[in-house]
Structure 1
Amino acid sequence: MDSMLDIYNLLKQYGTYIYTTDRLGDLQLMEDEIKELYKANVLDIKDYQMAMLLLRQEATRLNG
């Protein structure tokens, strides 16, 4: 997992589409979905950690 597009595609694989007008809100919803996939043992630790890192970097970029 190298980019936000990879996260969008991962979520799409599981039927999750997140597109609202609030970009930061979208990132929070994606983070919640990634956490749920990890808790359900769908994602391994490496993919979970990389997805969370990318989401938080994107949130920081938008806030900064």
Structure 2
Amino acid sequence: MKTLYDVQQLLKQFGVVVYLGKRLYDIEMMKIELEALYKSALIDKENYLIAEMILRREHQIEMEKENE
């Protein structure tokens, strides 16, 4: 797992499709859904941490774009 697309595919395996219309909001909702999957023990810690890191990076990139 290396990209936001990979995280989307992970979530999709559990029937979670996120589209709120704004990329920043999508990333934030994906974080919420990912955490729920982890707390429910549906994904392991390694995949959770990797996906969380990817989402944090993408969130930071989007925040920088908005601040320009």
Q: By the TM > 0.5 criterion, same fold?
A: yes
Q: Report the CA distance between 1:34 and its aligned residue.
A: 0.4
CA distance in 2, matches of 1:28, 1:63: 12
Which range moved further: 13-22 or 27-36?
Answer: 13-22
**What's 2:16 paired with?**
16
Structure 2 spans left out of the alignment, 5+ residues: none
**What's 2:47 paired with?**
47
Q: Report the CA distance between 1:61 and its aligned residue.
A: 0.5
Q: Report the CA distance between 1:21 and its aligned residue.
A: 1.4
Q: Report the CA distance between 1:19 and its aligned residue.
A: 1.1
Q: How many residues align?
A: 64
RMSD between aligned alpha carbons? 0.8
Q: Report the CA distance between 1:52 and its aligned residue.
A: 0.6
What amino acid sits opposite 1:52 in the alignment?
E
TM-score, normalised by the number of residues in structure 1: 0.93
Larger Rg: 2
- Give structure 1 regions of 4+ aligned residues with deviation exceeding 2 angstroms: none
